[in-house]
């Protein structure tokens, strides 16, 4: 009998302790801080190089912050239209984005140096690191501050090649061909005899399908990510139109300033690591993109060495034109050009 009483007493005490702990558990659950959520939006598909690199960056941030920061992704212009991304991040509608300077060069002129066709490097990593050097220029820093964004790291979709509905093996093959292009890339294809047509990357598939354009300049990963090879079966992979490295990865400045210092430190370390990681991704993804397109029946073409040299020589005036245009707008164009080209030269020598 005494044993039964002791057992019952133990049960009662146990139940009391359990129920007594419930309020404490609830308090602890309620007091647990919610993670900081950062929204990333971009026009490209999640399979593109820049999207993959942004995803790696966000996953690492969540891991290294022990879940205190999470990134939500909105690809393929599902949240913000391509040409609205710069304004959206400055206004705080989103916190992270790829900063497409070429879509609004009047608002963001400094980094457009890294869009110029015919840059003296065929190395993706060198191109984006030369663009990173441009960030050190006081004018570039002031530009970003004026647009309410915090520069994080250099970024770009990679080598620009031509995808077309008919074969382009020589410059003369471009005469009268409607090519989707923008900024100085549009000037380049015009110099080569094509007719430039302005449209954002997500519109290109429909443009090719309907005949609004006959071709487009894009990175290989954009061609596969947006499945352009379904409606255009020819890719000219040499010479490149250049390496578009003018898409810095940025954050809303107010959001950056609101982050705890230790989170900022984690992000700064990630920003240092990302360029090499992204360059490694670029090589692997380009290889896979070529394989994917070949399986889909895409034919690849190359200019002869002589034709390639002639094509690049035709683009040289664009560099001085860029300087003159920037200087007329009060931007130190010559300084920016020389800074960019000298960094390419230094990195080429040290590789």
Query: Contact at 8 Å (CB) between 326 and 336?
Result: yes
In contact, 172 and 236? CB cutoff 8 Å: no
Q: For position 32, what pLDDT does the model report? A: 62
Given a cut of 70, the residues of the chain with pLDDT beneath it are 1-32, 239
Q: Where are the domains of the chain?
A: 36-158+244-293+324-350, 160-242+305-313
Q: Judge contact between 301 and 307, C-beta under 8 A.
A: no
Question: Which sign does the torsion angle of CA 244, 128, 330, 150 carry?
Answer: positive
Fold observed for domain 36-158+244-293+324-350: D-Maltodextrin-Binding Protein; domain 2 (3.40.190)
Res 26: pLDDT: 42
Distances (CA, A) of 147 to 139, 164, 343: 12, 36, 26
Give residue 153's pLDDT.
98
The closest of 224, 231, 310, 274 to 98, measured between CA atoms, is 274
Same CATH fold assignment for domains 36-158+244-293+324-350 and 160-242+305-313: yes
Mean pLDDT of the chain: 90
- pLDDT tens column, 92-139: 999 999 999 888 888 999 999 998 998 889 899 999 999 999 999 999
Query: pTM of the prediction?
Result: 0.83
How many CB atoms neighbour CB 344 within 10 A?
21
CB distance 158 to 115 below 8 Å: no
pLDDT of the residue at 89: 98
pLDDT in tens, 145-156: 999 999 999 999
What is the CATH code of the structural domain delimited by 160-242+305-313? 3.40.190.10
Q: Fill in the DSSP letter of residue 34.
A: P
- Separation of alpha carbons 301 and 234, rounded Å: 7
């Amino acid at each position: 009998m005494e044993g039964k009483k002791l057992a019952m007493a133990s049960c009662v005490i146990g139940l009391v302790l359990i129920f007594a702990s419930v309020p404490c558990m609830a308090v602890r659950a309620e007091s647990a801080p919610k993670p900081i959520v950062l929204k990333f939006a971009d026009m490209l598909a999640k399979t593109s190089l820049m999207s993959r690199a942004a995803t790696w960056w966000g996953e690492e941030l969540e891991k290294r912050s022990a879940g205190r920061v999470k990134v939500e992704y909105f690809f393929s212009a599902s949240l913000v239209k391509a040409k609205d991304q710069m304004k959206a991040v400055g206004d705080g509608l989103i916190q992270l984005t790829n900063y497409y300077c070429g879509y609004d060069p009047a608002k963001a002129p400094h980094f457009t140096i890294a869009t110029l066709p015919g840059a003296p490097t065929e190395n993706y990593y060198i191109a984006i690191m030369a663009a990173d050097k441009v960030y050190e220029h006081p004018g570039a820093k002031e530009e970003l501050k004026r647009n309410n964004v915090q520069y994080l790291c250099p970024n770009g979709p990679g080598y620009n090649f031509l995808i077309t509905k008919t074969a382009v093996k020589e410059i003369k093959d471009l005469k009268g061909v409607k090519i989707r292009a923008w900024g100085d890339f549009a000037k380049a294809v015009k110099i080569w005899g094509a007719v430039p047509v302005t449209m954002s990357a997500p519109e290109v598939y429909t443009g090719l399908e309907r005949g609004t354009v006959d071709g487009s300049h894009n990175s290989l990963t954009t061609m596969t990510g947006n499945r352009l090879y379904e409606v255009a079966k020819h890719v000219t992979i040499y010479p490149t139109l250049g390496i578009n490295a003018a898409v810095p990865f940025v954050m809303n400045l107010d959001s950056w300033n609101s982050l705890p210092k230790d989170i900022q430190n984690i992000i700064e370390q990630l920003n240092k690591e990302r360029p090499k990681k992204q360059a490694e991704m670029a090589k692997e993804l380009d290889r896979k993109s070529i394989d994917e397109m070949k399986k889909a029946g895409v034919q690849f073409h190359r200019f002869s060495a002589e034709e390639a040299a002639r094509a690049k020589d035709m683009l040289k005036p664009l560099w001085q034109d860029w300087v003159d245009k920037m200087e007329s707008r009060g931007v130190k164009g010559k300084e920016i050009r020389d800074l960019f080209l000298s960094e390419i030269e230094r990195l080429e020598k040290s590789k």
